[in-house]
Amino acid sequence: MPAEQTRRRCNRFDQEEQLIKVIVVIPTYNEVENLVPLVTAIQDSLPESHVLVVDDNSPDGTGELAETLAKETGKVHVLHRPGKQGLGTAYVAGFRYALTCGYQRVIQMDADFSHSPEYLLRLLQAAERADVVIGSRNVPGGRVEHWPLLRRLISKGGSLYTRLLLGLPVSDCTSGFKCFRREALEALDLDRLQSNGYAFQVEVNYACTVAGLRFAEVPIVFPDRVRGASKMSLGIAREATTVVLRLFLGLTPPALASGSRGARMRPRRRVV
């Protein structure tokens, strides 16, 4: 969507005088059962925040439901895309929208309650002293629930592999529950982010690291989804392995905006 059109759309929402404008970006594909409880819980946790649903024409009617919520709440925005285009491009569309509309904090989360809205405030608070805040399963106090041993090993092993190869100052490299200060997203070249699954998180973390941004990790407990079905696949795990290698070998350069390159590469991380 052209920037001017986006701005006109979000001006409709600009009536509030907020100290800090926060938007929660939620990519959705067939999340009709989760959307109402999720938006309600987000508004309970962060009453001033806005929500952006990026829906890929979900056959179950998630997009239409999001429109109804937009009308009812005045705080829900919706981007409709014509078909399932993957998670990475959904985040990019959401980030662009957030930047164009002048939001100062951009939170990304899944729709399925694996990312509990109760952590939103902690993520936001941590973003006072960090550019990128990660909801982390791998710091003290964080964990996954009801995962079989093999899945735990693959997830932790994947994060370790990524961290060692790319020198990321983050112990949960593939978490999709994050809060960015807008300056962090402005340091990225969103056009160059190409991956779609877990690798998308790695690509963003790598570019943020090379840009010298400050990271913080907030412990989260990560339960499996209760409603709806996962869209993740083996192909997405394969993509993650390849993307890490390509970044490590320099075959894919970090997705930095011009001007962000060459900054510090000293890993900085705090657990809060």
Ligand X SMILES: Nc1nc2c(ncn2[C@@H]2O[C@H](COP(=O)(O)OP(=O)(O)O)[C@@H](O)[C@H]2O)c(=O)[nH]1
Nearer to ligand X, 225 or 246 (CB): 225
Tokens coding 171: 């112990």
Closest separation between CB of residue 135 and ligand X, Å? 13
- Which partner from the list Mg ion, ligand X, none does 169 bind, CB cut-off 5 to 8 Å by kind? none
Q: Could you give the string, one character per residue 76-95, with x where binding to ligand X holds by CB under 6 A and - elsewhere?
A: --------xxxx--x-----
Distance, in Å, from the CA atom of 59 to the CA atom of 71, rounded to the nearest integer, reads 21
CB-closest chain residue to Mg ion:
112
Residue type at position 144: V
Among 21, 24, 25, 27, binds ligand X (CB under 6 A): 27
Distance, in Å, from the CA atom of 199 to the CA atom of 243, rounded to the nearest integer, reads 6
- Which partner from the list ligand X, Mg ion, none does 31 bind, CB cut-off 5 to 8 Å by kind? ligand X
| Residue 223 DSSP code | P
Exposed, middle or buried by CB within 10 Å (0-12, 13-18, 19+), for 239?
buried
Distance, in Å, from the CA atom of 146 to the CA atom of 149, rounded to the nearest integer, reads 9
Tokens coding 152: 């735990």
Binding of ligand X by 246 (CB under 6 A):
no
Strands 22-28 and 221-222: unpaired
What is the footprint of ligand X within residues 28-87 (CB under 6 A)? 28-29, 31, 54-56, 84-87
Closest separation between CB of residue 38 and ligand X, Å? 9
Nearer to ligand X, 7 or 80 (CB): 80
Nearer to ligand X, 93 or 213 (CB): 93
Location of structure tokens 């994947």: 158
Residues in the chain: 272
List of residues contacting Mg ion (CB under 5 A): 110, 112, 114, 225
* Site residues (vs ligand X, CB under 6 A): 27-29, 31, 54-56, 84-87, 90, 110-112, 114, 225, 230-232
